[in-house]
Structure 1
Amino acid sequence: MMHRTIRSGYVSAIRGARVVANKTGVLDRLEAGPHRRSRWLRSLFAIYDFDDLARLDLPWWTFDAIDTVERFLAGRPQARVFEWGSGASTLWLSRRAGEVISVEHDPEWSDMVARKLAGCAHVALRHVPAQAAGEVASRKAGFAGQYFDDYVRAIRDVPGALDLIVIDGRAREVCLREAADRLAPGGMILLDDFRRKRYQVAAEASGLKIARHEGLAVCLPLPDSTAVLTRRRALA
């Protein structure tokens, strides 16, 4: 409860500061800035603002991870992407990949993202709600009694290998187990919020190679961590 109160207070303060920054031209100057720190400072004013993040063309990851994935997709213009947890990242991916399949559990959020994606024939957004009973529970506060079996297994409905798999929604540890065997040769998995110990444990157990991208993160005032996982090369 204390954490939510602090977060709510911070977001309210940023929203107030944004009004002033907009009137004084600070937002425009930050957007025009050529450096990462300018983009990061501008993103702070977009926290929990889907429309603003979409306009800024930023997914809510660390900047190092964004750069890594952008370079990867630039080399695979027809990349197939699967994503658990839709949002600004879905729009960002839609501008860089050949096919995007995104799964979202929240109906209102799913509808909002779908409106932004109108006309994007290469993007499929699936709403897969939580269930009242099952085996896969979310460990996130506020999700007690909700199960995500269908949500996690939605990737099984997608045939073929995937170039990029983004895990940024519910039940991420179980999603990672589903994702590990679905990568195309040279493909990668992005696992966000990697400072959480349970995600680190799941990544270690996967046997995949882990590259941690830490530092400045979109919308966040403090450093964060996003991991990129790849298959280990077989020994000759």
Structure 2
Amino acid sequence: MFWGKFSEEQSTDNKLKSHAEAIEMPKGEMYLASCLNILRNLYGYVFSVEKGVAVDISGGYLPLYTYPTIEYLTQFDYRDKRIFEFGAGASTFFWMERAGQVVSVENNQDWYSKLKMQVKSNVNLIFAQNQHFPAAISSQEGLFDVIVVDGFGYRYDSAVQALNKLAPGGVIVLDNADWHPNTAALLKSAGLLQVDMSGFKPCESHTSTTSIFFRRDFDFKTLEQRQPVYAKGAKWIHSAEWDKTML
């Protein structure tokens, strides 16, 4: 197999073996190069690493969840939804552009002060430390459709509080769930449906797991008529003959 820019005529009679712009490689390595091209140029992974913040290829802010989680969550319409975050950051900007209301609690004073000057009017940014951090959600009126447990510390305690404020049909997002198995078990034991989404994240060089815990009546409206939408780098194919009854 060869990788490079060349014509069909140049690819005959083993001429590519001496072609200056052609690289000979095993098929597996060529497929890997194609996968890396998707990660680099469609997901914007390298751009995100160099920028030092979770962003997509166009510079739009992303939450620091796994890419499969981000792609799944971006399918839905949050314009009439309330979001609560334990831990603010790039994810706050992500939700700010999508949701009707965002409430984020942060326990780092410098980070809180920096974000406070940048958020829009649909964001309520709260500063709370120590035991007041996980309890911050309890002081909020009403329930939340999406609750994100992703703060610095207090993951388990935040999850306990989140269960009391989750709306019917809502979801709890637990980032780094593989590092917090007790917290994941707590949410699952509360009757929520656990879906683990493992993979790469923006800015990080290892895989991780972000888990989404669904109420059994979850039914958020999607932005597109079809679900799932095509993923980045996917083949745009509809197997129409197999996608209907053949009996």
**Fold shared, TM-score > 0.5 on shorter chain:** yes
2:122 matches 1:122: yes
- Displacement of 1:40 after TM fit? 2.4
Instruction: Write out aligned runs for 1:78-89 (5 A).
Output: 78-89=80-91
- For 2:141, give the aligned amino acid: P
**Structure 1 CA distance, aligned partners of 2:72 and 2:56?**
23
The runs of 5 or more residues in structure 2 that have no matched partner are 1-36, 218-247
Residue in structure 1 matched with residue 171 of structure 2 by the alignment: 188
Residue in structure 2 matched with residue 223 of structure 1 by the alignment: 207
Instruction: Write out aligned runs for 1:194-209 (5 A).
Output: 194-196=177-179, 197-209=181-193
Q: Secondary structure at the residue paired with 2:145?
A: strand
Contact 2:47 2:57 in 1 (8 A): no
The runs of 5 or more residues in structure 1 that have no matched partner are 1-28, 131-148
**Structure 1 CA distance, aligned partners of 2:150 and 2:165?**
17
- For 2:91, give the aligned amino acid: S
- For 1:42, give the aligned amino acid: F
Q: Runs of 4+ in structure 1 displaced over 6 angstroms? A: 29-32, 50-54
Residue in structure 2 matched with residue 6 of structure 1 by the alignment: none
Match among 15, 40, 64 for residue 45 of structure 2: 40
**Structure 2 CA distance, aligned partners of 1:50 and 1:43?**
6
Contact 1:84 1:104 in 2 (8 A): yes
- Displacement of 1:182 after TM fit? 1.8
Contact 1:30 1:41 in 2 (8 A): no
- Displacement of 1:56 after TM fit? 3.3
2:141 matches 1:159: yes
Contact 2:149 2:174 in 1 (8 A): yes
How many residues end up aligned between the 2 structures?
Answer: 180
- For 1:172, give the aligned amino acid: R
- Displacement of 1:42 after TM fit? 2.5
- Displacement of 1:52 after TM fit? 9.7
Contact 1:86 1:103 in 2 (8 A): yes
Q: Which has the larger helix fraction? A: 1
Match among 63, 71, 80 for residue 67 of structure 1: 71
- Output the TM-score relative to the length of structure 1: 0.68
RMSD: 2.7
**Structure 2 CA distance, aligned partners of 1:31 and 1:223?**
13
- For 1:45, give the aligned amino acid: E
- Cα-to-partner distance string for 1:34-56 (whole Å, 9 max, x where unaligned): x33xx223222234x47999943
- Output the TM-score relative to the length of structure 2: 0.65
- Displacement of 1:216 after TM fit? 1.7
- Displacement of 1:203 after TM fit? 3.1
Identity of aligned residues (%): 28
**Structure 1 CA distance, aligned partners of 2:73 and 2:81?**
11
- Displacement of 1:57 after TM fit? 1.6
